[in-house]
Amino acid sequence: MEKQLEELAIILYEINAIKFGDFVTKVGLKTPVYIDLRTIISHPQIFRQLSTILWTLHDVSEHVDQICGVPYTALPIASLISVESNIPMVIRRKEAKSYGTKKLIEGKYKAGEKCIIIEDVITSGSSILEVVNDLKQEGLVITEALVIMDREQGGRKNIENSGIKVKSLYTLTQLLHYLLAAGKITPVIVQNVENYLATCNTAPLKLLNESTNERLKMDFSSRVKMAKNQLASKILRLMDTKESMICLAADLSKTDSILELAEIAGPHIVILKIHVDIIENFNEEFIKQLKDLSLKHKFFIMEDRKFADIGNTVSLQYSKGIYKIAEWADLITVHSVSGPGIFDGLRKALKNIPEDRGIFVVSEMSSEGTLTTGNYITDSLKMSATCDLVAGHVCQSNIFSDPGLIQLTPGVKLAKASDDLGQQYNTPESVVNAGADLAVVGRGITDASDKLAAILKYKDQLWSAYRARISH
């Protein structure tokens, strides 16, 4: 085995799967060595040899029902092991499909089956822990992870802290010694990498939903002081005081209809959401009356503009024109697609506005076939994390952990349904369990013959689901 590993290490170096220089890892750490095992798919014999020797690490005394490769580099390795060992394989997608079955885990499996994870390289262990989390939600039992390269930067410990055995073909230190003995690298390179390993370890990790679920266990009053955005603090406090989670979508085109609805709903809602550009008879008096009602009944006004242009343009859209949104809307919605400059543009428009303002970033949408999936969601969260204008995210699921942020989930009706334009609706209980702090209710109230009765029904069901959520 030792001789095989030494020979294989030299081969991997020669096919450029091991590189020395200045690189950055997936978790953002600078590194003098980079392991790129994607190259092995161009070398079938090496590919087979590496997969075969990796599988010898598994505990033969343990029964294995399934194999799962971490996407993407480990997928072909896991596939070959599955074929050679005659053990079924499941695939964990990078993100759930937005069509068809919308499954995240592909393959035939059942709860209780034991699964082994296959991975190419571990640094922090985050990729394995994310896969483990999703497999466990399907009822699979994860026994161990087989890894080609352990970079010795804390990943093994993070994974083992989650109760999973880790076995690796190489540690980075072992690899260096094999290559040094073969004359492929110099003692200076070895020293540089060893110095790097001595000072650069990753932080301890939790399973993805362990951290995000902390927010769901907390009551709104406990989260008030955790909000970076002042308006988010006020919203959380108001939700607790009113015992309401309703953001009422008044997507109506007449000012009188909106004002009439605001008068009825005001005492029972947290936010009234409008689309100012669909109002046929918009005028300044309407805004004055709406603001008066918001003060009288204590609710906030959201303009669902969904700003999405470059910074300079959104600054003008927000503060100028016939609507002058920045002057009266407590909250607005914003797409992150144009990059961080959009936040700078919005902040510029608020230069002379003394009142607190907040934005909800549309990180995930409820329409069928939406493109806000996978990396878009991750990048949207990262981009908005440093902006104190952000009060929360518009999303369908529990995608962030910060208890100071608010999850606003659209598409809520008393019964699960969809319309003929692709909008998907979920029940109050299902959206609250999926992380919603505020639920956007529209046609379920605006189309009701008895609007007050509908409002009270949504209010009660949402609050009951919230109480059950935090009690668990």
For 71-115, the DSSP string reads TTTHHHHHHHHHHHHT--EEEE-SS--SSTT--SEES---TT-EE
Binding site as annotated, residues for substrate: 251, 273, 366, 423, 442-443
Determine the pLDDT at residue 208. 45
Catalytic residue status for 292: no
Rg (CA), the chain: 27
Determine the pLDDT at residue 251. 94
Q: Give me the amino acid identity at 256.
A: D
Catalytic residue status for 306: yes
Q: Which of 157, 228, 306, 457 is catalytic?
A: 306
Where in 172-265 does DSSP place strands (E)? 246-249
Determine the pLDDT at residue 62. 87
Binding site as annotated, residues: 251, 273, 366, 423, 442-443
Determine the pLDDT at residue 234. 97
Q: Is 69 in contact with 78 (CB distance < 8 Å)?
A: yes
Q: Which of 304, 330, 402, 437 is catalytic?
A: 304
DSSP, res 225? G
In terms of C-beta density within 10 A (0-12 exposed, 13-18 middle, 19 or more buried), how is residue 367 classed?
Answer: middle
Determine the pLDDT at residue 456. 97
pTM confidence score: 0.61
Coil, strand or helix at 231: helix
Give per-residue pLDDT as tens, 35-45. Answer: 999 999 999 99
Cα 397 from chain centroid?
8
Catalytic residue status for 22: no
What domains lie within the chain, and their CATH numbers? 2-205 (3.40.50.2020), 214-471 (3.20.20.70)
Alpha helices, H only, 266-390: 284-297, 311-319, 341-349, 375-384
Determine the pLDDT at residue 281. 97
Q: Which of 309, 356, 379, 460 is catalytic?
A: 309
pLDDT < 50 regions, the chain: 98-99, 206-212, 420-422
Determine the pLDDT at residue 28. 60
Determine the pLDDT at residue 49. 96
Determine the pLDDT at residue 26. 62
